[in-house]
Copies of this chain bind each other. A is one copy, B any other.
Amino acid sequence: MPLTPDRVNRQVLLNARPVGFPVDTDFKMVEALVPEPALGQLLIRTIYLSLDPYMRGRMDATASYAKPVQLGSVMEGGTVGEVVASKHDQFEEGELVLSANGWQEYAISDGQGIRKLDPSIAPVSTALGVLGMPGMTAYVGLLEVGELKVGDTVVVSAASGAVGAVVGQIAKIKGHRVVGVAGVQKKCTYVTDELGFDACVSHQSDTLAVDLAAVCPDGIDLYFENVGGKVFDAVLPLLNQFARVPICGRIANYNMTSPPEGPNGVPHLMGLILIRRLRLRGFIVWDHADSAAEFIREVGGWVRSGQLKYREDIVDGLGNAVTAFQGMLRGRNFGKLLVRVSDDKTR
């Protein structure tokens, strides 16, 4: 059959493993034929592709949480799509589903690991953001891993991002003093004026450490780490005894090709962990799957009531995915970054 436009499945492949910052040629857009579902399969048209910082780790040869994406394979990623053909008895054409079809316009599935979405409950895109992996990361990271306690002052980095915005708002709902760290001024203003954080400081400030100390007069009891680098350095001296540091990400370091210059801060860090009885703990949302129902119930309720806000940064067309991903690594997105790969007929 000819590769007519309506039968083209555009895909973004991992073409080379990035050395440091991912460049355009690390990716390759190809055109394949839209596959036909066999018996027991369904064909899904991607509507939204989620772009997330963790994807940078998957591009490296060394395993991070999961196996690396293989060279020449479609880049992995969470997606919301529409069933356009089904030979699977549990799925029908026109149904909307959450799956992980990656950076491509169409994908075949056997139905495993797919969740149906009801657009009457919430916009389907939220299944990739506030009511999806990033939102649940915030929820379990703050409450389970971070062991949020009465009276905690909470600081969260990447505060306007998909995870950070939820972390801070949950902590505010629960009555805490919450301070965000974000980049440009408009993000800081959004964090305080729209999301209701008590304060927000910019990591672009030359006086970040002083700025942060000024808005944390009682120190920091819980630091939700998304960033690493100089933000972590500014937080460290402010951590109180028994402070908890759930480590969710460290986007400032994802493109490092070699360890930074010295001095070596490890002994100082270990000394502080000891003397202040700190708890640093890395986590990944997948390890907390048994909290999914509680998350959906609680955060879903706050979203519906308007207590918890979210912001999406939507880029149109799979052809813009690479540029959008690069921009995210530079902090240029503003809200949960999504690629609208094809029309969302529910909006």
Residues of A within 8 A of B (CB): 57, 64-65, 225, 228-229, 232, 247-250, 253, 256, 258-284, 287
Contacts and interface: CB of A to CB of B under 8 A. Distances in A.
A128 B253 CA distance: 45
Contacts of A284: 277
Nearest to A260: B264
17 contacts: A225-B270, A228-B270, A232-B270, A249-B274, A258-B263, A259-B263, A259-B267, A260-B263, A260-B264, A260-B267, A262-B262, A264-B264, A273-B281, A279-B281, A279-B282, A280-B280, A280-B281
Most-contacted residue by chain B among A260, A275, A276, A282 (CB, 10 A): A282
A274 B261 contact: no
A256 B267 contact: yes
Contact of A274 (B229, B248, B266): B248
Nearest to A258: B263
CB-based closest 3 A-B pairs: A262-B262, A259-B263, A274-B282
Contacts of A265: 259, 264-266
A280 B274 CA distance: 9
Contacts of A249: 274
A146 B339 CA distance: 43
A332 to B, nearest CB: 22
A266 B263 contact: no
Nearest to A265: B266
A232 B273 CA distance: 14
Contacts of A272: 282
A229 B267 CA distance: 7
B259 A264 contact: yes
Contacts of A258: 263
Given A65-B275, A253-B271, 11 more contacts: A57-B275, A225-B270, A228-B267, A229-B267, A232-B266, A250-B274, A253-B270, A260-B262, A262-B264, A265-B265, A278-B282
A95 to B, nearest CB: 35
A63 to B, nearest CB: 8
B278 A281 contact: yes
Nearest to A254: B271
A31 B253 CA distance: 58
A127 to B, nearest CB: 25
Contact of A247 (B263, B268, B273, B283): B273
A275 B279 contact: no
A282 B279 CA distance: 7
A273 B263 contact: no
Contacts of A283: 274, 277
Given A228-B267, A266-B266, A279-B279, A274 B259 contact: no
Nearest to A256: B267
A220 to B, nearest CB: 16
A21 to B, nearest CB: 16
B267 A264 contact: no
A282 B269 CA distance: 11
Most-contacted residue by chain B among A261, A264, A276 (CB, 10 A): A264
B267 A275 contact: no
Nearest to A253: B267
Contacts of A261: 262-264
Contacts of A256: 267
